Structure 1
């Protein structure tokens, strides 16, 4: 789970000054975010069942599925969907994981 927290933290740092428009034109930021989303999905594959049940609010399957999409369909990936993931989906995941790690 620490790997997921670190990857989300990096994504937030890489995108902190961006809007969707500026992110869409920053190939380096897109590449960095995609790489960290892949790390998140790969790390999610290694989370044990007890942790997944304890943190049922974390979209474990979706994180794994996104990793597979990014790895296998890289050129078909939608930047606006990645942006939505960054701004809408990652903050609550980070919050849940941080609370759990503090226990």
Structure 2
């Protein structure tokens, strides 16, 4: 099913908001002992990665400073490495990488919205 870049950005943003909200309410220590939260974080990162894989190539090329390939790659590692997920890395991504990606995404969404006259 085709989704517009705008829809994909919204899906990504929703998952980022979830991850940021959760990382504010729990510590890494609690996270590493809570399998449900670990799975929720992994799923959010998978959704983000899947959405990134579907963003149009012109946007990917236009915003080269965003680590699109790394984000999509994290999704692939989670999807295909289900027996060997390192949840310390998942925590690090949620806590340290996702906030920077959010800032980049907000700028992209604003720029694309202006470009499209919205």
Aligned to 2:68: 60
Structure 1 outlier segments of 4+, above 4 Å: none
Q: Secondary structure at the match of 2:25?
A: coil
Report whether the alignment pairs 1:44 with 2:29.
no
Query: Which structure is larger by alpha-carbon Rg, 1 or 2?
Result: 2
Partners of 1:88 and 1:95 in 2: CA distance:
12
Report whether the alignment pairs 1:70 with 2:39.
no
Q: Please, which runs of 5 or more residues in structure 2 have no aligned partner?
A: 1-8, 112-118
RMSD after superposition: 1.2
Q: Deviations over 1:38-91 (max 9, x none)?
A: 101100111111111222222111111111111111120111111111122111
- The normalised TM-score by structure 2 is 0.81
- The normalised TM-score by structure 1 is 0.91
Partners of 2:40 and 2:63 in 1: CA distance:
27
Partners of 1:24 and 1:99 in 2: CA distance:
32
